[in-house]
Each structure stands twice: as structure tokens, then as C-alpha cells.
Amino acid sequence: PVSGVTLTAQPPTGQVAEGDWLVLLCSVATGTGPLSFSWHRQGSPAPLATGPRYELRPAQQRDSGHYHCTATNGDSAANSSSLGVTIL
């Protein structure tokens, strides 16, 4: 099973000025088989993107919100904790 899904941000605070870049990274502590990743924002049912990296460039005011990533290996899936993103 997939476990230990972690979301990190660059910059680590998840806070950037409008027009700057924000990068979100998803990693997995354990999991076998080919892993796939999807990105989600609170209130949005459809995935924003796929892959272990999600970039907001340039970041816009509308990008503020809580994000999480989901990792799956086809048999099981796990979510990261939520990260609050603030665009100043």
C-alpha cells in the first residue's frame, strides 16, 4: 500500500506575492509499483494536474486556497495533509 504521502512547497511557507512562482512537491515514504500523483484544491472535484510536481507560475490571487496531493499505485491511494497557499 501507499503511505507517508507528503506535500512540500517552495517557498516552504506556501506564501508568495502575486506574479511569483510557487512550486508544490508530492513525495511518498512507502509504496510499490508505478506511482501516479494528482493535485487537488479544496472545493474543486476535478484534479488540477498530475505528476509529483505542481507549479503556479505566475501565481494569481485566485490560486489561494488549500491544496493536497493524492498518490496511487493502482491498488491503493493515500492523500497528503492539506497545505494552505496564500497569494499576496
Domain 3-87 has CATH 3.30.70.270: no
User: For residue 73, what pLDDT is reported?
Assistant: 94
* Phi and psi at residue 63, to the nearest 5°: -80, -10
3-state secondary structure of 88: coil
User: For residue 41, what pLDDT is reported?
Assistant: 95
Closest CA to 53 of 24, 73, 13, 77: 24
User: For residue 45, what pLDDT is reported?
Assistant: 78
- Grid coordinates representing 86 are 496564500
Query: Average pLDDT per run of 10 along the chain, which is 88 residues long?
Result: 96 96 96 92 90 96 96 94 96
> Where do the structural domains in the chain lie, given as residue ranges?
3-87
